[in-house]
Amino acid sequence: MNVVPIVTKVRIVPIAGYDSPTLTLSGCHYPFFTRNIVIIEDDSGNKGIAEIHGGEPIKKSLESYVPFIVGHDIMDYRNIIKNIQKKIGHPNDKGEGIQKLDISQLQYVVHAEAAIECALLDLVGKFLNKPMVDIIGQGRHRDAVPFLGYLFFVANRNKIDLPYIHDDETAGNDEWFKIRRSEIMDADGIVNEARVLHEKYGFTSFKLKGGVLAGETEMKVVKKLHETFPEYRINIDPNGCWSLDEAVKLMKKYGSSLTYVEDPTNAEAGFSGREVLSYFRNVTNMSVATNMIAVNWKQLYPALQMKAIDIVLADPHFWGIEGTLRVAAILNEWGLTWGSHSNNHFDITLALYAQVAAAAPKITPIDTHFIWQDGQQICDDALEIKDGQIKIPNRPGLGININEDKLAKAHELYEKLSFKGRDDTRAMQYLMKDWKFDPDRPVFVR
């Protein structure tokens, strides 16, 4: 009989990677993004790994969890997480979710214990010699997971006096690496972006990050994408910055080009985002996705009760692994769909998304920013997107293993940064003097 391994050591390693000047409602991405890596070791010699959002508040939360983990057997992961939630909780979370949230405040609403759960489940998978998908939720529902190509408008880096990486100069014959740091600000550029991503990764589903230009302009881009690639799934996410009236008008004019629309509008005139999206959905008959108005259990109940949404993008970093799969099971029973939201991330999160999505019963193609960070992998045997999907490898746990040399280099980059959080206003103010985040106005609508 096998003896269950005991946790002997926990490491929290903050790291950084390079990013493009991509644009969102919150402004312009900084040249660097940060993440926190969790490595949990047990007395069998295995390492369980996880990745979660960057920022010192999350790092401090993770460090505070260590006494709840060391000395426990890895199969006790549920009780470990429950004790963390009960005795520490989320002291920085004001309970507002991410309705109209400035992205610089995201670090205060992420549930950092999700990284502990991931690393422990990675260890459990290695102990049982089973892929994570086979030991979580209801078990395996699919062997391959479809992902979407995340399309962004990209600012001209030469107008921003910050050290963006110029990997287009060393990209060789890789067309994607050549264009992803270059300016992309019109419909032709976005269409070309989609073409290149299809050729490199095989995507046939795309999402345009909106909230940058006027709504009418962005929907004309969507229309051109649909006309150019009529067989592809096309979606848009303006992060709720359109008014209800504008969102309804845009959908009536251009909605036939979309598979679904994500958070087209948000709280206004005294109504919550859930109420507003319920009205929007009734008027337009559009399929609606969200990662803003239903990001915890208390918000999910009224959102579903009001029939405000069809797709819940339940990021496991907010819900936990078992939590997000409970969401997926409920949605499936009610004829709705599960998906996952994304932020800038490394290959550990990519593997987590694949494993979790493979265990969800009914899904939409999964979000990922990883294509914008591809080439910065910190693991051996990193999973790859081919033919628009990731095949689950027949390897235990997450199916990947940390490369300590690559981890050390990413940590070294983090230590060199003078600013270790996230604030898209900083880069944006080079493009528009005195620019400030406004949840109700696209970036360049001022």
For 8-29, how does the pLDDT look when each residue is reduced to its tens digit (9 = 90+)?
Answer: 999 999 999 999 999 999 999 9
Please give the pLDDT value at position 114.
96
Residue 94 has pLDDT above 80, yes or no: no
Q: Give ranges for CATH 3.20.20.120 in the chain.
A: 135-398
Tokens of 360: 């969800």
Does CATH place domain 135-398 in 3.20.20.120?
yes
Please give the pLDDT value at position 421.
82
**Contact criterion met (CB below 8 Å) for 160 and 139:** no
Name the pLDDT band for 1 (thresholds 50, 70, 90). very low
The pLDDT of 65-74, averaged and rounded, is 97
The pLDDT of 270-290, averaged and rounded, is 97
For 178-202, how does the pLDDT look when each residue is reduced to its tens digit (9 = 90+)?
Answer: 999 999 999 999 999 999 999 999 9
Give the angle 261-324-358 at the CA atoms, nearest 5°: 85
Residue 97 has pLDDT above 80, yes or no: no
Name the pLDDT band for 261 (thresholds 50, 70, 90). very high
Please give the pLDDT value at position 422.
84
Residue 285 has pLDDT above 90, yes or no: yes
Q: Which of 66-70, 164-168, 302-306, 356-360 has the lowest mean pLDDT?
A: 164-168
Residue 107 has pLDDT above 70, yes or no: no
Name the pLDDT band for 99 (thresholds 50, 70, 90). low
For 364-381, how does the pLDDT look when each residue is reduced to its tens digit (9 = 90+)?
Answer: 999 999 999 999 999 999
Please give the pLDDT value at position 268.
94
Residue 319 has pLDDT above 70, yes or no: yes
For 328-353, how does the pLDDT look when each residue is reduced to its tens digit (9 = 90+)?
Answer: 999 999 999 999 999 999 999 999 99
**27 has which bridge partners?**
24
Comparing 90 with 366, the larger pLDDT belongs to: 366
The pLDDT of 142-157, averaged and rounded, is 98
Name the pLDDT band for 102 (thresholds 50, 70, 90). low
The pLDDT of 420-438, averaged and rounded, is 93
Q: How far apart are CA 442 and CA 41, in angstroms?
A: 45
Q: How far apart are CA 52 and CA 274, in angstroms?
A: 27
Q: What are the CA-CA distances from residue 123 to residues 7, 14, 42, 178, 217 (Å)?
A: 9, 21, 8, 38, 48
Residue 91 has pLDDT above 80, yes or no: no
**Contact criterion met (CB below 8 Å) for 93 and 109:** yes
Please give the pLDDT value at position 423.
87
List residues with catalytic annotation: 209, 341
The pLDDT of 63-77, averaged and rounded, is 97
**Contact criterion met (CB below 8 Å) for 313 and 262:** yes
Backbone angles phi, psi at 23, to 5 degrees: -110, 140
Name the pLDDT band for 95 (thresholds 50, 70, 90). very low
Please give the pLDDT value at position 168.
59
The pTM score is: 0.95
- Amino acid identity, residue 412? E
Please give the pLDDT value at position 347.
98
Residue 106 has pLDDT above 90, yes or no: no
Please give the pLDDT value at position 89.
73
**207 has which bridge partners?**
150, 235
Of the chain, the percentage scoring pLDDT greater than 70 comes to: 94
Name the pLDDT band for 419 (thresholds 50, 70, 90). confident
* Superfamily of segment(s) 7-129+405-417: Enolase-like, N-terminal domain (3.30.390.10)
| CB burial readout 171-196, b (16+ within 10 A) else e | beebbbbbbbbeebeebebbbebbeb
The pLDDT of 290-315, averaged and rounded, is 95
Q: Give ranges for CATH 3.30.390.10 in the chain.
A: 7-129+405-417
Residue 170 has pLDDT above 70, yes or no: no
